[in-house]
Amino acid sequence: MLITRGFKGKARNRGAAQDRVPPGQYVTPDFPVLSAGPTPRTSLEEWSFGLRLGGRTVAEWRWADFEKLPQTEVTVDIHCVTKWSKLDTRWRGVTFDDLLGAAGLAAPPTSFVMAHCDGGYTSNAPVADLAQGRAMIATHYEDLPIAPAHGGPARLLVPHLYFWKSAKWVRWLDFIEEDQAGFWESLGYHIYGDPWREQRYRGDP
Amino acid sequence: MTPTHLPWRIATVAAAKPESARAKAILLDVPGWPGHLAGQHLDLRLTADDGYQAQRSYSISSAPAGEPQLEITVERVDDGEVSPFLLDELREGDPLELRGPIGGYFTWVPGDGGPLLLVGGGSGVAPLMAMLRARTRSGDRTPVRLLYSARTVDELLYRAELDRLADEADGFELIATLTRGAPEGWTGEQGRIGREMLAARGFPPEERPRIFVCGPTPFVEACADALVALGHEGGRIKTERFGPTGDLK
């Protein structure tokens, strides 16, 4: 390990939160915004959310119907690949499990999912990382509708993976048989993105 | 450019040149550097003597080829953990761990075509400098305009080089604007970059410019929204945001 002469660090992560902050991350009270393009602004009238399989729509909800699905609230830590982590963020939305249930699916039809978003963004994840309460389509942050810059009206929330996986402005999940690279995954970022193993970039073990 | 994996490398600080009272260009010798595209960034990793580590990303401001060193631009974040160290403590000859290049979207290669509209706020000019330098070094003549916003004239980074590039009149036009007052004799723009300035000084949507916007989050949000409102395609507007979010709507 190369010691950096004169670097002390402000040691913001030491103490109580230390075991909650993955390697290479720092805690911020702010909520930074990272997006590859302009912020899409889809009205709730135009918005819909769907589950798709093999080019076919399995289920689709308009906003008013989506709001009637079972609501779950979670408080989680989030970790962005650009090094910031934010602790105790509170979200409300519909869990992946409840979406499957509402769509009449007894089990996930494939092992992988590609999230598709307004603006053309995509991100992939294994179904095992979404099911059993591990992910939701979030519509509220700290009791308020998610701001457009943060992914509103709805974003995927997969807090145990780097936050680029929690795709903003999500419009449908495509069930796919084989894992495929999404937007950042095809531009040099890690295919899976576990912050605790520091899987930031392609080839990180 | 996406190598199969990104190992940590040990760079050596070749020089640290003040660009303003709050920013320096840091030049690095990086043995084995695989090359980069204009617009990409790298990760720095600092390690304290007790093993504590901090990592941060910095845009590369040097051209991909034809320059002996890799350059990053570091601006002070007042309560920051890494930038005050890099600006105040780092000395020529110090080793520094880094890896990269990172990011394959916010990039421009001569030959991608244009026209090219670069919109920078503060130290957000760094990756745009890499694009301008790449264009100049390759002899590319893509029409390019840089709209560059700084608070004061002293905070305009790379000013001498930008003025020099603009003087060559080879299709590069510099439009600098100051948001907190201008000195006597200032002939550039004043005030924030918004819809009006983008309409007056940018390229019209019909010319289908490739657009790169980099700066603090509220700056990028405002510029990108204004560009969309002017009729530019969202897919042609590439953005890179940094710093505090401010009050987002």
What is the dotted CATH code of the domain comprising A57-197? Answer: 3.90.420.10
What value of ipTM does the predicted structure carry?
0.93
Q: All domains of chain B, ordered by start, with CATH?
A: 9-102 (2.40.30.10), 116-242 (3.40.50.80)
Q: B45 contacts in A (CB within 8 Å)?
A: 24
> Taking all residues of chain A, what is their mean pLDDT, rounded to a whole number?
95
* Distance from C-alpha of B169 to C-alpha of B39, rounded to nearest angstrom: 23
pLDDT digits (tens, 9 = 90+) for A17-38: 778 999 999 999 888 998 999 9
Q: Where are the domains of chain A?
A: 57-197
Task: Tell me which residue in B43, B99, B235 faces A120 most closely, judged by beta carbons.
Answer: B235
Residues 6+ positions from A195 with CB-CB distance below 8 Å: A22, A25, A79, A81, A85, A160, A161, A162
Chain A interface mutation, best of B26, B98, B212, B220, highest count of A Cβ atoms under 10 Å = B220
CB contact under 8 A, B6 and A23: no
Q: Is B69 exposed, middle or buried (0-12, 13-18, 19+ CB in 10 A)?
A: middle
Section B116-129 average pLDDT: 98
Evaluate if residue A61 carries a pLDDT over 60: yes
Taking a C-beta distance cutoff of 8 angstroms, is the pair B221, B237 a contact?
no
Q: B97 contacts in A (CB within 8 Å)?
A: 2, 4
pLDDT score of B249: 46
Chain B interface mutation, best of A1, A2, A4, highest count of B Cβ atoms under 10 Å = A4
Paired tokens of B39: 């617009």
Taking a C-beta distance cutoff of 8 angstroms, is the pair A121, A169 a contact?
yes
CB contact under 8 A, B48 and A3: yes
Rounded to the nearest 10°, the torsion over CA A91, A97, A102, A106 is: 180
Note if the pTM is more than 0.90: yes
pLDDT score of B1: 46
Report the percent of chain A where pLDDT is more than 70.
Answer: 97
Evaluate if residue B66 carries a pLDDT over 70: yes
Taking a C-beta distance cutoff of 8 angstroms, is the pair B220, B214 a contact?
yes
pLDDT digits (tens, 9 = 90+) for B204-223: 999 999 999 999 999 999 99
